[in-house]
Amino acid sequence: MNNHPNVTQNTRERVLSVLEKHNYIPSAIAKSLVVKSTNTIGVMTLDVRHAHYANIAFTIEQELSSCGYNVILCNTGYDRAKLDAYARVLAEKQVDGVIMVGSVFSTLETEESMKRYLPHTPIVMHNSTLRLPNMYNISTEEAHGIVLSVDHLVAKGITEIAYVQDYDTRVGLAKVATYRKELERHGIPYSRKMVVQTVSGLRGGMNAAETLDSRGVSYRAIIGCDDVTAVGIMRHLARRGKRVPEDVAVIGFNNTVFSEMADPPLTVVDNKEEMTGITLSRAIVDLLKGRDIPPQTTLYPELVIRGSA
């Protein structure tokens, strides 16, 4: 079975014939005890129903599968107890490594769970940092997408720019701070009323645009926190009889399929989800192969200009 050179061809064929006849499947558990590896990677993410996380998780699974690894996918949500439970499960499964996708994991609670259950397991994180010696970070400089968006809108003569934020994560707060900084850089007065916090998603985008209208502010453009939220913004604008981009320009984040399905097609900050998944996968494989990787790697997004702005 292991192609040992001391086994004759005749013996090998006889043994393989018996194994095939009885549909024998080798025990991965028994093999892992010998080789000290389960060839399994745990992937922890916020919510795989979200297109952004789904696309990254899919790429990770495909990339790791091609390298001979299996994947255990864990959807933690914002549930502290669920995150802790999944960390324990991954430890019990003796995974070789862990990939964590999402800035939501930059918390002391996450750090405590990883330290308790996976203190020596290589961990590669996306957009999160923990103060652990076995942790490496691959980050997308999403705040740079705000710079690209504001520059693009100002170049088109648009200065009344609203921003829709989702969660108070490290990345989320950095994007809000960059939004304010970029307005000031272009000599545009900052107003707290032009920033709306909402729940990511179609309904969240509709509610955010409705909130802007209820505040009575004048806006000519809205930058949404992600594609689906931006589509929700566009839906509200259409119901109010406002045209995109003639009356209000709209920009989203992530460049999922929803951005191309929108009418008009959505101008987006492309966070390079496929490249992110590939980079995360290659980093964990390199660590498991004993190769050195930098503790911090940064990817930069690009602005994809379509019909909405």
> How does pLDDT run across 214-265, given as a tens digit for each residue?
999 999 999 999 999 999 999 999 999 999 999 999 999 999 999 999 999 9
Place of tokens 């490249």: 275
Give 32's DSSP letter: H
CA–CA gap between residue 70 and residue 252 (Å, rounded): 33
Instruction: Tell me, rounded to whole angstroms, the distance of Cα 27 from its chain centroid.
Output: 34
Question: Of the given ranges (8-17, 126-135, 161-170, 213-222), which has the lowest mean pLDDT?
Answer: 8-17
Q: What is the pTM of this model?
A: 0.81
Place of tokens 């490594």: 97
Give 267's DSSP letter: E
Tokens standing for 257? Answer: 């399929």
Sorted by sequence, the CB contacts under 8 Å of residue 168 that are 6+ apart come out as 197
Backbone φ, ψ for residue 169 (5° rounding): -85, 175
Tell me if 190 sits within 8 A of 180, measured CB to CB.
yes
The residues pairing with 135 across neighbouring beta strands, listed in sequence order, are: 123
Tell me if 196 sits within 8 A of 166, measured CB to CB.
no
Sorted by sequence, the CB contacts under 8 Å of residue 281 that are 6+ apart come out as 59, 60, 63, 64, 67, 99
Closest CA to 105 of 124, 87, 127: 127
Instruction: Tell me the mean pLDDT in the region 288-302.
Output: 93
In this prediction, residue 139 carries a pLDDT of: 92
Q: 33 pLDDT exceeds 50?
A: no
Tell me if 100 sits within 8 A of 75, measured CB to CB.
no
The residues pairing with 81 across neighbouring beta strands, listed in sequence order, are: none
Tell me if 157 sits within 8 A of 135, measured CB to CB.
no
- Cβ neighbour number for residue 170 with a 10 Å cutoff: 17
Closest CA to 134 of 121, 117, 152: 121
- In the chain, the percentage of residues whose pLDDT exceeds 90 is 74
Instruction: Tell me, rounded to whole angstroms, the distance of Cα 1 from its chain centroid.
Output: 40
In this prediction, residue 221 carries a pLDDT of: 98
Sorted by sequence, the CB contacts under 8 Å of residue 173 that are 6+ apart come out as none
Distances (CA, A) of 205 to 194, 209, 222, 227, 278: 14, 6, 10, 10, 30
Instruction: Tell me the mean pLDDT in the region 85-108.
Output: 92
CA–CA gap between residue 156 and residue 290 (Å, rounded): 50
Set out the domains of the chain in order of their start, with CATH numbers.
9-139+274-300 (3.40.50.2300), 143-270 (3.40.50.2300)
Question: Of the given ranges (161-165, 233-237, 240-244, 295-299), which has the lowest mean pLDDT?
Answer: 295-299
Q: 111 pLDDT exceeds 50?
A: yes
